[in-house]
């Protein structure tokens, strides 16, 4: 009897330690992968992971699915299954000039009751691939690519390996956990990771990826999650559907950041189309220095009620569009 108690005490102490480690590791992953502001060294992080794995190995029945050790799970599958999106994943129309932006603004205002005040949110257009993440009661349960917008591919096992994506939402204590959340955003590969990957591939005599976008797509569509895990993918959240969506898009972005997602630090709420055009000029300077590729800026009507009035034409919303920068051109000098 006394011996039984001793085991029970030891088990309780181990489980408590494991729980504490999981919280610490999650917090440090958030600092590192989402905020880009680590507070501990890689060696300290590795030590915590080793200890956690050791404790979890003792009690394999008590490992929660959202443990930091459980990101790469399951085995390679032979194909991706199809999933129907809760709401279609829309695409975006394109504009290429200030005139076209003004025309977009005219169309928006003519689609709304006369005299409506229209605020816009300006965001970087991240060059990756769209993904929908479904959270039920705060847990990531499914991730899907866009596919044809209505039906996508189930890439949950691969998306779980992306460490800037929370497996459980960071909901502050005392706050309600949303029952259902559909978080949309872009899976992308940072420039540095892309260059490193191509170097490795060249060394091995494998074909190189043409750009970070292709590398991200190729990495996400791997049948073996182990491969995806080795590819340093990241994710920017830029749209919220479902129960948690806020009346203003900018508020949804702020909420996504609070839930632990990476949200671009370069988004801006503007009061009119002149300010939007100014943002596009300013951001063109800024974007060269970013650690990831952008191919434009996205302009979105901030008020979700106005978004609903405007609706969509085919696959493009009437309340948002993408401004595309001219493709970068390398300058060549003709010597002779
Ligand atoms: S919003 C209805 N915001 O660009 C909302 N899309 O060319 C539709 N993209 O399919 C998407 N950055 O994959 C939105 N800040 C951003 C984006 C963004 C990149 C991608 C997305 C979209 C494609 C359209």
The pLDDT tens digits of the residues spanning 250-286 come to 999 999 999 999 999 999 999 999 999 999 999 999 9
241 CA → ligand 1 middle, Å: 14
Q: Is 74 helix (H, G, I), strand (E, B) or coil?
A: coil
For residue 127, the ligand 1 atom closest to its alpha carbon is: 19
Q: What does 291-325 look like in DSSP terms, one character per residue?
A: SS-EEEEEEEESBHHHHHHH-EETTEESSEEEEEP
Q: What's the gap in Å between 42 CA and the centre of ligand 1? A: 33
Give 158-191 pLDDT, tens digit per residue: 999 999 999 999 998 899 999 999 999 999 999 9
Q: Is the pLDDT of residue 222 over 80?
A: yes
Whose C-alpha lies nearest to ligand 1, atom 7? 92
Question: CA-CA distance, 9 to 16, in Å (whole number)?
Answer: 11
Strands lying side by side in the sheet with 129-136: 139-145, 129-136, 180-188, 234-242
Q: Which of 74, 87, 110, 93 is nearest to 184 (CA)?
A: 87
Cα 328 to middle of ligand 1, angstroms: 20
Beta bridge partners of 185: 131, 237
Give the mean pLDDT of 136-143: 97
Which residue in 20, 125, 139, 262 is the catalytic one? 125
How does pLDDT run across 190-200, given as a tens digit for each residue? 999 999 999 99
pLDDT at 21 over 90: yes
Q: How far from chain centre, in Å, is Cα 123?
A: 14
* Residue spans per domain, the chain: 2-68, 90-324
Give me ligand 1 centre to Cα 188, in Å. 12
pLDDT tens per residue, range 277-325 = 999 999 999 999 999 999 999 999 999 999 999 999 989 999 999 999 9
Same fold, 2-68 and 90-324: no
pLDDT at 243: 81
Alpha carbon dihedral 206, 212, 96, 303, in 10-degree steps, equals 150
Q: Supply the pTM of this predicted model.
A: 0.93
| Antiparallel, parallel or unpaired: β 93-95 and 320-324 | parallel
> What's the rounded Cα separation, in Å, for the pair 310 and 110?
10
Pocket of ligand 1 (CB under 6 A): 90-92, 123, 125-126, 130, 186, 238-239, 298, 317, 320, 322
- Choices 3.40.50.150, 3.30.470.30, 3.40.50.300, 3.30.2320.50: CATH for 90-324: 3.30.470.30
Mean pLDDT of 60-65: 95
The yes-or-no verdict on residue 219 having pLDDT over 80 is: yes
Q: How many CB atoms are located within 10 Å of the residue 215 CB? A: 24
| Ligand 1, atom 3, residue with closest C-alpha | 238
For 2-68, CATH number?
1.10.287.610
Residue nearest ligand 1's atom 13 by CA: 130
Is 268 among the catalytic positions? no
What is the position in ligand 1's atom list of the atom closest to the CA of 129? 13
Q: Residue 89: is it exposed, middle or buried by C-beta count within 10 angstroms (0-12/13-18/19+)? A: buried
> If pLDDT is split at 50, 70 and 90, which confidence band does 6 have?
confident
Give the residue ranges of DSSP H helices in the chain.
2-29, 42-58, 98-110, 156-159, 191-203, 212-220, 225-229, 249-258, 273-287, 304-310
Atom of ligand 1 nearest to the CA of 125: 12
């Amino acid at each position: 009897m006394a011996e039984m108690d001793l085991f029970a005490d030891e088990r309780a102490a181990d489980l408590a330690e494991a729980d504490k480690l999981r919280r610490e590791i999650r917090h440090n992953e958030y600092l590192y992968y989402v905020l880009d502001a680590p507070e501990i060294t890689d060696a300290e992080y590795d030590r915590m992971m080793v200890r956690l794995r050791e404790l979890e190995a003792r009690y394999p029945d008590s490992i929660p699915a959202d443990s930091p050790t459980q990101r790469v799970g399951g085995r390679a599958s032979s194909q991706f299954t199809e999933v129907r999106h809760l709401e279609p994943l829309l695409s975006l129309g394109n504009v290429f000039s200030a005139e076209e932006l003004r025309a977009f603004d005219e169309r928006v205002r003519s689609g709304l009751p006369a005299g409506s005040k229209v605020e816009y949110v300006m965001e970087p257009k991240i060059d990756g691939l769209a993904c929908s993440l479904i959270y039920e009661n705060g847990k990531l349960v499914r991730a899907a690519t866009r596919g044809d917008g209505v039906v996508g591919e189930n890439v949950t096992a691969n998306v779980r390996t992306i460490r800037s994506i929370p497996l459980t939402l960071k909901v502050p204590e005392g706050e309600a956990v949303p029952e259902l959340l559909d978080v949309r955003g872009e899976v992308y590969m940072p420039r540095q990771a892309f260059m490193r990957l191509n170097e490795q591939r060249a060394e091995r005599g494998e074909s190189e990826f043409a750009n970070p976008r292709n590398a991200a797509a190729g990495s996400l569509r791997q049948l073996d999650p182990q491969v995806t895990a080795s590819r340093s993918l990241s994710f920017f959240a830029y749209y919220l559907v479902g129960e948690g969506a806020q009346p203003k898009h900018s508020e949804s972005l702020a909420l996504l950041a609070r839930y632990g997602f990476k949200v671009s630090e370069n988004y801006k709420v503007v009061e009119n189309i002149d300010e939007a055009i100014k943002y596009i000029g300013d951001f063109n300077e800024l974007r060269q220095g970013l650690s990831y590729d952008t191919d434009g800026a996205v302009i979105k009507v901030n008020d979700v009620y106005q978004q609903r009035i405007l609706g969509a034409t085919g696959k493009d919303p009437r309340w948002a569009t993408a401004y595309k920068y001219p493709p970068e051109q390398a300058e060549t000098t003709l010597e002779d």
